[in-house]
Structures are given as C-alpha cells and as structure tokens.
Amino acid sequence: MDDPSGPRERNNDDMLKRKDMIFDDIVRELTQTLNMSPTDITVDLSLRNDLILDSLQLYELVIDMEEAYNIRLPDELLDEIDTIQDVVDLVYKLTE
C-alpha cells in the first residue's frame, strides 16, 4: 500500500528525525562534560546562562560536533548561539 503521507510530510519527518539525532549527540556530550542526567537537558536551555558552560567546555562541544558531522563552526557563527535548539538548528543547516 502507498504511503498516505505526501512528500512534504515525509521531508518534515526526516528533518525532525535528523534534528533529534543531533540533539541526542549534544545531550550525550553535555552529560559527560557537566555530569548531568540526560533527562535534565532540554532544547530551550541556554548554554552560557543555564548550563553555565565556560569557553573551554563550549569549544569541547563545538570541536566534537565538528568532527562528528564533518562541519566547521567558526566563532562568527558561535556568536549567534544561545540555546541548545540554536546548536541543533545550526548543525542541521550546515549538514543539509
């Protein structure tokens, strides 16, 4: 039987799945760095203000994401980042 969902819905599902994967990777990284429970990490948390990541911890996350997704996250792009959702969106955009 044909898939009842149209191409737009399928694209949307793919996007959400990929964003979920990126989020999971970030959670894994942050739980190791900050010794937090994965359930405490949500997309709306601010990296600097809520999780209080210092520059070194932020660069650790950035370097690991660069290697995992084969992308470049220069400082000019990092200036725009506040929440975990911002990181997810940026990584998704760069790997599209």
Partner 1 sequence: MNSDVEEMSDSLVRIFENVLLTEEKSLSRGYFSDLSLAEMHTLTAIGPYEAKNMSQTAQLLGITTGTLTVSIDRLVRKGYVDRRRDDRDKRIVRISLTREGKLACRMHSKFHRVLAKRILEPYGTDDRDRLLTLVKAIDKHVEGLLQRYEGTEEENSIRKTARQIVIETDDKIKKKETEDNG
Q: Using CB under 8 A, which of the segments 24-32, 43-51, 60-68, 84-92 binds partner 1?
A: 60-68
Residue 95 φ/ψ region, left for φ over 0, alpha for ψ in the -120 to 50 degree band, beta for the rest: alpha
What is the DSSP secondary-structure string of 2-34?
A: --SS-HHHHHHHHHHHHHHHHHHHHHHHHHHHH
Is residue 80 part of the contact set for partner 1 (CB under 8 A)?
Answer: no
Q: Using CB under 8 A, which of the segments 11-19, 27-35, 38-46, 58-66 binds partner 1?
A: 58-66
CA 66/CA 64 separation, integer angstroms = 5
Is residue 36 part of the contact set for partner 1 (CB under 8 A)?
Answer: no
Measured from the CB of residue 33, what is the shortest distance to partner 1 in angstroms?
A: 12
Q: Using CB under 8 A, which of the segments 13-21, 32-40, 57-65, 85-93 binds partner 1?
A: 57-65
